[in-house]
Chain A
C-alpha cells in the first residue's frame, strides 16, 4: 500500500530570548492508510511540535517551519496557502489532544462542536450536520448520543470527553488522525478503552493514525511501526516488534530497560538513564544523547550520527551499534 502521509526533512525552530530552539530537526517518516505509527520519546523531545507542524498549528512567531515537506495523499501541506491548509485541517488531517478537559470549548454543546466541524467541510444542512454529530457519538460508543449531544463538556467524564474529541476529529473521515498523548490524562481502565476505540475506528475507516506517546506499553499494544525521537531528532525507526526485540540505539535500549516487565527475573532491578535531556537551545556538537550514553566513543561527541539501516527495515542513528 502507498503511504498516505510522507514527511521528509521536517525542521521546526523557535526564536526565543535564549536563542534559536531547534524543536524538530530533519525528521522524516511515512504512514500508510490503516496503519498506526507511534512517535515515542521523553517530554520535550519534539513529539508534540512534530504533530503541530504537520497540522501547521505552530504559533508563528515565535515558531517557524524552516525546511521539509509534508505530503498528504500527494499534496505538500507546507506549500499550501493558509486558506488551502484550513480546508485540509479537519477534513483530511485531524488531531486529538492530550487534555480532554481543556480541549473542548466549555460554552458550546458537544453536538454543536462536532456539527461545526461537519458543516465547515461539507455542504450540508444544519440539521444533517447535527444528525451526523449524533451518529458520530454513537460510533464512539457513547450511550444515549442524542442526549449527550445536547450536553456541555463539563457534564461529561474525562473518558467521555476524549471519545467526543475522537468523534469530532473523525467526523469528516480524515485520511490521517494525529493523536497527541490521547490517554495520558485518563484513568488506566479508561485508557485501554480509548486505545481500543481508536484502533477499531482505524480498522473500520482505514484512517492512518499517528500516535504520540511516551508510554512504551501503549506502543507495544497498538503501533505497527514506531519512530523514536530524542532532542528534536529521529534516532530510530522500524517495526514495533523489531525495535522492541532488538533496539539498536542506546537510548531506546535504555528506555526499554527502564520499563518494568512481567516475568522478569525476581530481584532484577529496573535501570534508569543517567542525566537529563539537554536543553534544545544548547545541544552538544555530536550525538545529543552522547553525554548520557554508556557506550559513547570519540566520534559521538564530534559529529551527529546519520540514520542508517542496521537491520532490514530498521534504521538508527548511532556510531557505535
Chain B
C-alpha cells in the first residue's frame, strides 16, 4: 500500500518532468523569436533595445540553462514576471485560482449528482422510451459546443428574465452569488453530466449482467435492493476512475465558459496570455493545469484503493 503510493508519487514526478520539458520546448519552437515579437509590438527601433530585451529574458542563454532556471524558480515559488503586466506571474495567477476552483467544483458536483442517477435509470430501464430519451439528450448535450451552450443560456437570461448572470467581485445577495456561479457551473457541468451518464449507464448494464446480480435475485431481494445494494456499488467504481479524465474534460469547457461569462478565472486567463504571447505566463499556467490533472488522478487512484477491497486487501 505504502509502496504503491510511493511508486505512484514517483511516476507523478516523472510525468510532470516530462510535461515541463514538453511545454518548455513547445513554446520555443515559435516561428520568430519572442524578443522580435515584443520588440515589434513595443514599437521600438533601436537594436540595442532588442539586445536588452533578450538579455532581460535570459533568451541569450542555452536552452538547458533557461530550463533549469525556470524549474529552480518553480521550486522556490518564483515564476518570473509577466511580459504584459510586468507583475510577478504568481501574483497574477493566485487570486484567479479560487474563482476557477469554485466553478469547477460546483460543475463537477452538478455533473455527478445528475449524471449518475440518470445513468442508473437509463440502464435499469434499458430499451424503454425513458432510456431512449435520456440517451438522446445526453448525446445532444455532448454534441453542443460549450461556448454555444453558454451563449444560449446568456440569451435566455437576457431575453426572458432581463438579467445577465455576469461575474461580480463581491455579490451582494445569495441570489446574485448563485446566479453568477451556479449558471456557468451548470452550463459547463451539463456536458460532463452527459458524459458521466453515459459511463454510468454502460457500467451499470455490464454489472447487471453479472452472476452476482442473479445470485442477489435468487435470494429473494427486491429489484430496488438488487440495484442499489448489489449493482450500484459495483457500477460506480469504474465511474470513479474516470474523474481524472472528467477533470481534464471539464477544463476544456471552463476555458470557453469563463470567456463567455466573462469570469476572471485561470482558464480564461490562459487564453488571454496566449493571445498576448505572454510566454512566462502560458508556460506556468499550463504547468499548473498539468499539476492539477495529475494530482486529481493520483487522489482518485488512492481513493479507489480504499473503496475496492480487491485492491485494498491484495497485499
Contact = CB atoms under 8 A, between A and B. Distances in A.
A155 B314 CA distance: 8
B159 interface: no
A281 interface: no
A224 interface: no
A305 to B, nearest CB: 34
Contacts of A90: 218-220
Contacts of B310: 106, 152, 154
Nearest to A59: B214
A185 to B, nearest CB: 11
Given A106-B309, A154-B310, A89 B218 contact: yes
A91 B310 CA distance: 30
B207 to A, nearest CB: 10
Interface in B289-315: 308-310, 313
A155 B211 contact: no
Interface string A107-126: 11000000011001100000
Interface residues of B, number: 21
A251 interface: no
Contacts of A88: 220
A99 B313 contact: no
Interface in B189-232: 210-212, 214-222, 229-230
Contacts of A116: 219, 221, 229
A105 B216 contact: yes
Contact of A102 (B211, B221, B309, B313): B211
Contacts of B210: 102
A2 to B, nearest CB: 25
Interface in B256-315: 308-310, 313
Given A102-B211, A105-B234, A55 B218 contact: yes
A78 interface: no
A106 B313 contact: no
B218 A95 contact: yes
Nearest to A92: B220
B28 interface: no
B8 interface: no
Contact of B211 (A99, A108, A121): A99
Contacts of A105: 212, 215-216, 230, 234
B220 A121 contact: yes
B125 interface: no
B230 to A, nearest CB: 5
A5 to B, nearest CB: 16
B87 interface: no
A155 to B, nearest CB: 6
Contact of A107 (B214, B218, B221, B309): B309
B7 interface: no
Contact of B214 (A57, A83, A121, A152): A57
B233 interface: yes
A104 B215 contact: yes
B219 A168 contact: yes
A14 interface: no
A99 B234 CA distance: 18
Contact of B309 (A89, A154, A168): A154
A108 B309 CA distance: 9
A84 to B, nearest CB: 11
Contacts of B220: 86-91, 117, 120-121
A97 interface: yes
A160 B234 CA distance: 22
Interface in A73-91: 83, 86-91
A305 B57 CA distance: 96
Nearest to A89: B220
Contacts of A95: 218
B212 A120 contact: no
A265 B222 CA distance: 56
A55 B218 CA distance: 7
Contacts of A107: 233-234, 237, 308-309
Nearest to B234: A107
A106 B212 CA distance: 8
A103 interface: yes
Contacts of B234: 105-107
A155 B313 contact: yes
A57 B229 CA distance: 19
B215 A120 contact: no
A203 to B, nearest CB: 23
A73 B222 CA distance: 23
Q: Which of A55, A83, A103, A105 has the most CB of B within 10 A?
A: A105
Nearest to B217: A57
Contacts of A121: 220
Interface of B: 210-212, 214-222, 229-230, 233-234, 237, 308-310, 313
Interface of A: 55, 57, 83, 86-91, 94-95, 97, 99, 102-108, 116-117, 120-121, 152, 154-155, 165, 168
16 contacts: A57-B218, A83-B222, A86-B221, A89-B219, A94-B219, A95-B218, A97-B211, A97-B215, A102-B211, A102-B212, A103-B214, A105-B216, A106-B309, A108-B230, A152-B313, A154-B310
